[in-house]
Structure 1
Amino acid sequence: MPGGSIYVKQDEKYTGSSPQWWYEKFWREDAQNRRRSRYIKAGVGLVLGAAVAIRFDLTAFSPLFALLFAGLVAAGDWLYHWRAFHATAVWRGARRGEVITRRHLRRSLRRLGYNVLDGRAIRGKASIDHLVIGPGGVWVVDNESWSPDTEIACYAGRLFFGEKYGSKTAKPLVEAAEAFAELLNRETGIAVTITPLLAVHCGLLPKSGIVHAEGITLLKPRLTGKLIRSAEGGVLSDEQIEVLTRTAARELQRV
């Protein structure tokens, strides 16, 4: 190992595998600790349930209340940890982010007159995961994920992922939106401005779930449809939506 010592045995825990692999390994190894903690919490729930029954003069039902509270506490603790692990699925490669976002977009937008084209590219220039065209305008949506402890924030107009600048992520998406807009303007004669969105499947966003920085909007996948719906309607007519959609389907390469 470069920089290592032949006299000091290397700790295999920190060599040779991806962060995702180690995350899953540590998750499995910690299962016993989570169960032990869950038993303790369920025990507290058991006592609390019995105390509530006694407090309201329901002593005869105290065993039932105790078991009910213990079960609710245990189930809540299991659900909390399951959701935390499930939230990393895209980052770990267990699920595809574009599939999740596509489902959110179609469920929330298609009945409102929006068309969603998936996996489109301008040959040799740019590619995006989703192109959304509707009454409120046109959007490109890409998908990305970072490690669960990566804080995503905007400071003084700059995008940050942890302590790293986010310009290398923002700039290509802004350029892709501009390239798509230029193509659609040229081919249809309809003046459109395309708004770039980035669906974040893993990483620490603010409580609002949205960050605006360096020309793009980063947000949780479930908020993509809501944000697009919030745009003022009437920007594009039904005829313009149809023309733009047909042109995009014809001119843009499917990827």
Structure 2
Amino acid sequence: MAITERSNGQQARGQPDQAARPPEGGPAADGPGPGPERPPGPRSLGEMLADPTIRRWLQRGVVALLVLAVVWVAAGLELGVAAAVLVVVGDVVRRSRTASSVEAWQKASAVERKTERQLKALEKNGYRVLHARAVPRDDEGVSDGRIDHLVIGPSGVYAIDSEAWDKRLPVRTLSHRKLFHGPFNKKERLDETHWEAQLASKIISDRVGFEVPVQGSVAIYGPSIPWKVMRVRDVDVYAGNRARGYLRRRPRVLTVTDVERIFQAAEESLPPKYPDSD
């Protein structure tokens, strides 16, 4: 069932709960000064397993070990190792081709600019935006993830990914748990968006000293989207040209001081993925 936004400014059914407000005496009362920082700790096993990239490589490793064992018994160690390597390489190539065959990757920068133009129009309403921000995945700041647009405003904090998909393939959902683009299940794409939003939330929260929820979302350009906003696997999904409306119709939950403090924390703790990205 599609989730539609209400034009009267009330929160739509199924939309995220209001972002957690700082406790009394928190940032709104204390002013925009920096909050206490928490020293980064080692990643737990659960956090590592929640990383979609790590999960993919673990799955490849398990399959490769099984292939190695079977071929080793049947034809020897050398052929077993070769078969295991081919399995890993073949899966990497397959995933790459699957994504590029249905997603107009060469238009990615163009759709990001479209979303950027929409978000720029919200600046007069008190929104701050950071573009192409890396999400550090360890204490050394190493990251292969990226949030296309991190939006901080009166209605909360949002991690928006702009996606260019093949307009010839329909987009559909199943029970708010599955998203399909034609025959392709977009589970991994949604899980990565959600995971990066949760990680950004943790990083920013540690920096400011209070909880800052970050809602992940995907703005899709190309195919027709038969709903206004749909939550699938905890990620909001909508047509790319609705990005501004998606943010504008939500209730105010942050003060001007909150917005500025969170923006400064995000700017300091989430480095630009590319030089001059903002």
Which TM-score applies when normalising by structure 1?
A: 0.60
Task: Look up the match of 2:206.
Answer: 186
Higher relative contact order (CA 8 A, sep 6+): 2
Cα deviation, 1:202-225, whole Å, max 9, x if unaligned, reads 12311x344321111221222111
Give 1:162 deviation, angstroms.
Answer: 1.5
List aligned pairs for 1:59-138, cutoff 5 A.
93=107, 96-107=110-121, 109-123=122-136, 124-125=142-143, 126-138=145-157
Give 1:248 deviation, angstroms.
Answer: 1.0
Could you say what secondary structure the match of 1:93 adopts?
helix
Distance 1:171 1:111, change over 3 A: same
Distance 1:189 1:94, change over 3 A: closer
Q: Give yes or no for the alignment of 1:173 onto 2:187.
A: no
Q: Among 256, 260, 266, which residue is 1:242 paired with?
A: 260
Cα deviation, 1:221-244, whole Å, max 9, x if unaligned, reads 2211111111111x1111111111
Give 1:92 deviation, angstroms.
Answer: 5.6
CA distance in 1: counterparts of 2:153 and 2:109, whole angstroms: 28
CA distance in 2: counterparts of 1:159 and 1:95, whole angstroms: 23
Are the equivalent residues in 1 in contact too, given 2:158–2:215 (CA < 8 A)? yes
Give 1:94 deviation, angstroms.
Answer: 8.8
Q: Give yes or no for the alignment of 1:147 onto 2:166.
A: yes
Any unmatched runs of 5+ in structure 2? 1-96, 137-141, 274-278
Q: Give yes or no for the alignment of 1:212 onto 2:225.
A: no
2:219 alignment partner AA: A
In our comparison, the structure showing a higher alpha carbon Rg is: 1
CA distance in 1: counterparts of 2:256 and 2:107, whole angstroms: 39
2:188 alignment partner AA: K
Distance 1:185 1:94, change over 3 A: closer
Are the equivalent residues in 2 in contact too, given 1:177–1:195 (CA < 8 A)? yes
Task: Look up the match of 2:80.
Answer: none
Structure 1 range deviating more: 92-101 or 125-134 = 92-101
Q: Among 214, 221, 231, which residue is 1:201 paired with?
A: 221
State, as a whole percentage, how many aligned pairs show the same letter: 24
What is the aligned-residue RMSD (CA, Å)? Answer: 2.3
Give 1:193 deviation, angstroms.
Answer: 1.0
Could you say what secondary structure the match of 1:231 adopts?
coil
What is the number of equivalent residue pairs in this alignment? Answer: 167
Give 1:190 deviation, angstroms.
Answer: 2.5
List aligned pairs for 1:37-48, cutoff 5 A.
none
CA distance in 2: counterparts of 1:249 and 1:138, whole angstroms: 13
Are the equivalent residues in 1 in contact too, given 2:190–2:233 (CA < 8 A)? yes
Cα deviation, 1:162-181, whole Å, max 9, x if unaligned, reads 22222111000000000000
Task: Look up the match of 1:69.
Answer: none
Distance 1:183 1:224, change over 3 A: same
Cα deviation, 1:73-132, whole Å, max 9, x if unaligned, reads xxxxxxxxxxxxxxx9x666396211110001111x111101011111123343111000
Distance 1:136 1:209, change over 3 A: closer
Could you say what secondary structure the match of 1:148 adopts?
coil
Report the structure, 1 or 2, having the larger helix content: 1
CA distance in 2: counterparts of 1:196 and 1:95, whole angstroms: 19
CA distance in 2: counterparts of 1:95 and 1:139, whole angstroms: 19
